[in-house]
Structure 1
Amino acid sequence: MKQMDDGSPSRRVPSFCSLRWGLALLLHFCNVSMMSQRACLSLTMVAMVNGSGPQGSPNMSTPEPLDDVKNPVYNWSPQTQGIILSSVTYGMLITQVPVGYLSGIYPVKNMVGSALLLSSLLSLLTPLAAGVGESAVIACRVAQGLSQGTVLVAQHTVWTKWAPPLERGRLTSLSLSGQMLGPSVALCVTGLICQSLGWPMVFYIFGAGGCALSLCWFLLFYDDPEGHPCISPAEKEFLASSLVEQAGSAGKSVPIRAVLKSRPVWAISLGCFAFSWTNHVMFLYLPTFISSKLHVNVRENGLLSALPHLCCWLLGILAGHVSDGFLSRKMLSLLAVRKLFTALGLLLPAVFVVGLLYLGPGFHGTVACLTLASATLGFCVAGMVINPLDIAPRYYGFLKGVTVLIGMTGGLISSTLAGIILNQDPEAAWSAIFFLVAAVNVSSLLFYLVFAAADVQAWAQEKQLTRL
């Protein structure tokens, strides 16, 4: 049966075995690869500066000349190391709004595939760039940031044509959760590769994996379900009928003035600001906090630092399924779902980071609070992260570019400020850092709860396009 009694398309269309779910899984792995390429340098830097080569082998006291050639060590100052580590972020900042705008005009297939391929090739070239000098590494990382920023924003436009309204949470959470799994993979695997094969192999392995995934992307992804050779007629009909309101957005000029005046857009942007603020603090300073409070060795530190990202990955996927379940069963309105998961994703991390300050020196309690503080951020995937698709599907790519840019600004401010606070007063620093995280999260959440919306805004509707 192809239609329900009311004449609407049948909902008995394959979900988990459908093409759209296969593409979400492919995009998931693309995100894992991209974030692994980004995160691995924080651990390889230790080997690149302080030592390299297989560690723990009996003849490490007198390394062979070949080992020095394969695994060179560089005399980079801490300041230079900091510039190298942060340079990828500055590259990503430049791309957000332009790519968000262009993704509504040019094929997403070419934008995402080419950018992922470029990022992977730059990963392969990083050991060679390190041999040339720190300036070459910085240039390589900035270019990698440009390409990764393109993937980060352009991929959202995929779901304007591939995600039915009642599957948006699940499909986007599956694809975006790869960004949470990537750092976990990098933290778990990079140390082992450095120990057994040497640090250059980290970049070669992650780069080669990214090249393979970009090839799969070019072969398997199509911008429009209508043109995909592998889609079933039933799924094609289902998507066409479900997304009829989102058709025809390409080539439309963006009503920038209306966007800037929109309170729901600012509510989402402040939510992204708080999300990125917390995420950057936990991602960059979690190993430092673990080292200072738990006094574990480097290998245990890496595993403990990877655990929150792994749990965040699981919670992000779960949030997408639960949110769509609420909507399909009509248990909550769309706006209530977005507010609920945004509240969980911003309030719970604030509670857990403050809870860290009142815990004793217990190992298990500290690890549990650290893990939950990072993992519960994953609830935001079903909240304000996907909210732009609800309020302006025609301009989803542009809105994601704007909101991600504001979010990344929050991340840069928080990471810089945390470093300054730690420099001035290491003893009392964590109290100031964590209370600041809680304050930013709660204030942004209150603004979101008051001004958020989930209906298509007037400036994004078809009848308004000719006037704006």
Structure 2
Amino acid sequence: MERSRMNSDEDEQHTPLLEQGNEDSVRKAPACCSSRYGLALLSCYGFFVVYTLRVNLSVALVEMLNNTHQSITNHSSSVCPAHDSPPRPVHNHTANVYDWDSVTQGWILGAFFYGYITTQVLGGYLASRFGAKWVLGLGVLVTVIFTLLTPVAADLGAGFLIAVRVVEGIGEGVTYPAMYTMWASWAPPLERSRLLTITYIGAQLGTVVALPLSGEICFYLDWSYVFYIFGIVGLLWFILWAFLVSNRPETHPRISEMERLYITTSLKNELSSSAHIPWRAIVTCRPLWAIVVAHFSFNWTFYTLLTLLPTYMKDVLGYSIQQNGILSALPYLGTGLMALVAGQLADYLRETCLYKTAIVRKIFTIIGTVGPAVFLIAAGYTGCNYTLAVAFLTISSSLAGAASAGFNINHLDIAPSYAGILQAITNTFATIPGMVGPVIARSLTRNNTLEEWQTVFYIAAGINVFGAVIYTVFGQGNVQRWAINMAYSQKD
């Protein structure tokens, strides 16, 4: 029986899934104007919203602080000579500023992840039981509403702002697990890398847009408008999502019969028809724990830069709020472009060159973890060479985009029926860096010296390399036996 070989990586399928039997010989539906690529684009917009709401505080916080207090605390405005910037408009000083020290700032930046970690597994479970559409949609809506309340919370005090960020994290915690559950029903196996990278490039685009635009909003208006503007953009996405998306191809009102048949036929031997979730098999799955380690390691570096890069740009390199946002966005522009290329190349290697899925995932994981580690350490030794520092940070983050076609998609390879739950498990552990990373980094950089920041970069790089090693040794690319047995043994 074919399924008896599923646990052996050496026995991984070498031929495309659509060509394994006569029952799978179905014509591939074109991508242009298709429902699955429409879902990918709307999902891309959704993750654009999610990340604008997540990172806008990183830039706004620079403006929310009392600069007089900060300069007294840190003895100087920046390590390197400040860069000239145009004078600010006189009408943009209406928002309040606050006297929060570096430790408090670390807790504010990390608060989001304390909520984010609590709804990962719950989000995956609810999406698998009740459908991903409303779980994801309502989760983002909660984040949007509390983003709009951020200026009020900040006026009430740091504790209220931390609480609001925790609730935002609770709302966003369901997004990745729910999206993986959605793609488990929508993504043909040989299009997974393409479709998922289109979806998740929205995260990079959101970061690329939010960082410089937040800087411009702070410069010409004030920091409170950062949360109002991005909140409204999020409300628009929710309306589109509510009216245009369906949980499965079978229930989509506008999908063509050709595309519906293509998707359902390509997935029918991979998906379980049972509502039973094999928890013991899931938590004892070695390939899953390899993804956990890789995801945790990758996110340590990612969240360190995501939350603290604007601070580094201002306090070390001496860039103003307007310059800061633009330069902080450059690394994520590179990440998005690399992710898009990696997704196309990964599917080409699997479909055309017939590379094993495990080999492809490991190659892109190594590129996306070891490469960033090297350039992150190098960035710490550039001193006040602004051009070289920004270039190395950009290259580091750009190479990280390759991981989007590596371990990041591997959940769908090893257990497509339970991909949302698997992603929830790995993302739960991968959220820990977001909780503790900013706090540790700000504790290590109280004086904002180059030596302190070098220590932060060394820690992140070392964790990255460790994750790459573990995943290379233990990662797999084949569907696990427990993930498909239910389709045969649980049928009535």
Tell me whether the two structures share a fold, i.e. TM-score over 0.5. yes
Distance 2:459 2:165 in 1: 30
Instruction: Name 1:377's counterpart in structure 2.
Output: 400
Of 98, 106, 111, the residue aligned with 1:82 is 106
Two-structure CA RMSD over aligned residues (Å): 2.6
Instruction: Name 2:375's counterpart in structure 1.
Output: 352
Instruction: Name 2:73's counterpart in structure 1.
Output: none
Structure 1 residues 181, 249: closer, same or farther in 2, change over 3 A?
A: farther
1:384 CA drift (Å): 0.3
Assess if the C-alpha contact under 8 Å between 1:105 and 1:250 holds in 2. no
Instruction: Name 1:22's counterpart in structure 2.
Output: 38
Of 104, 117, 138, the residue aligned with 1:114 is 138
Assess if the C-alpha contact under 8 Å between 1:161 and 1:246 holds in 2. no
1:58 CA drift (Å): 6.7
- Greater displacement, 233-242 / 324-333: 324-333
1:342 CA drift (Å): 0.7
1:92 CA drift (Å): 0.2
Structure 1 residues 180, 44: closer, same or farther in 2, change over 3 A?
A: same
- Structure 1 residues not aligned, in runs of 5+: none
Structure 1 residues 79, 277: closer, same or farther in 2, change over 3 A?
A: closer
Distance 2:467 2:60 in 1: 35
1:379 CA drift (Å): 0.7
Name the SS of the counterpart of 1:206 in structure 2. Answer: helix
Instruction: Name 2:323's counterpart in structure 1.
Output: 300
Structure 1 residues 122, 337: closer, same or farther in 2, change over 3 A?
A: same
Residue 152, structure 1, aligned to residue 176, structure 2:
yes
Instruction: Name 1:232's counterpart in structure 2.
Output: 256
Distance 2:263 2:210 in 1: 36
- Greater displacement, 428-437 / 173-182: 428-437
Aligned AA for 2:455?
A
Instruction: Name 1:258's counterpart in structure 2.
Output: 281
1:366 CA drift (Å): 2.5
Assess if the C-alpha contact under 8 Å between 1:118 and 1:147 holds in 2. yes
Distance 2:483 2:327 in 1: 45
1:367 CA drift (Å): 2.0
Question: How high is the sequence identity, in percent, across the aligned residues?
Answer: 36
Q: Encode CA deviations 1:411-448: one digit per residue, 9 max, x unaligned.
A: 43433333333238935323333332232222221111
Structure 1 residues 193, 402: closer, same or farther in 2, change over 3 A?
A: same
Aligned AA for 2:465?
V
Any residues of structure 2 matched to 1:60-99 within 5 Å, and which? 68=94, 71-99=95-123
1:135 CA drift (Å): 3.5
Q: Return the structure number with greater relative CO, CA threshold 8 A, min gap 6.
A: 2
- Structure 2 residues not aligned, in runs of 5+: 1-17, 68-85
Distance 1:266 1:326 in 2: 25
1:245 CA drift (Å): 2.3
Q: Encode CA deviations 1:220-241: one digit per residue, 9 max, x unaligned.
A: 1100101111101110110111
Name the SS of the counterpart of 1:182 in structure 2. Answer: helix
TM-score (norm 1): 0.89
Of 427, 444, 450, the residue aligned with 2:473 is 450
1:464 CA drift (Å): 8.4
Q: Encode CA deviations 1:291-323: one digit per residue, 9 max, x unaligned.
A: 465443332222111100111011111111111
Structure 1 residues 125, 414: closer, same or farther in 2, change over 3 A?
A: closer
Assess if the C-alpha contact under 8 Å between 2:106 and 2:442 holds in 1. no
Count, aligned residues: 454
Kindly report structure 1 stretches of 4+ aligned residues shifted beyond 6 Å.
none
Q: Encode CA deviations 1:46-94: one digit per residue, 9 max, x unaligned.
A: 333438xxx946756xx9xxx74xx334454554443333221111011
Instruction: Name 1:426's counterpart in structure 2.
Output: 449
Instruction: Name 1:186's counterpart in structure 2.
Output: 210
1:250 CA drift (Å): 5.9
Name the SS of the counterpart of 1:453 in structure 2. Answer: coil
Distance 1:350 1:59 in 2: 42
Q: Encode CA deviations 1:6-60: one digit per residue, 9 max, x unaligned.
A: 6644444111431111111101111111111121122223333438xxx946756
Structure 1 residues 342, 178: closer, same or farther in 2, change over 3 A?
A: same
1:189 CA drift (Å): 0.6
Assess if the C-alpha contact under 8 Å between 2:365 and 2:407 holds in 1. yes
Distance 2:89 2:281 in 1: 67
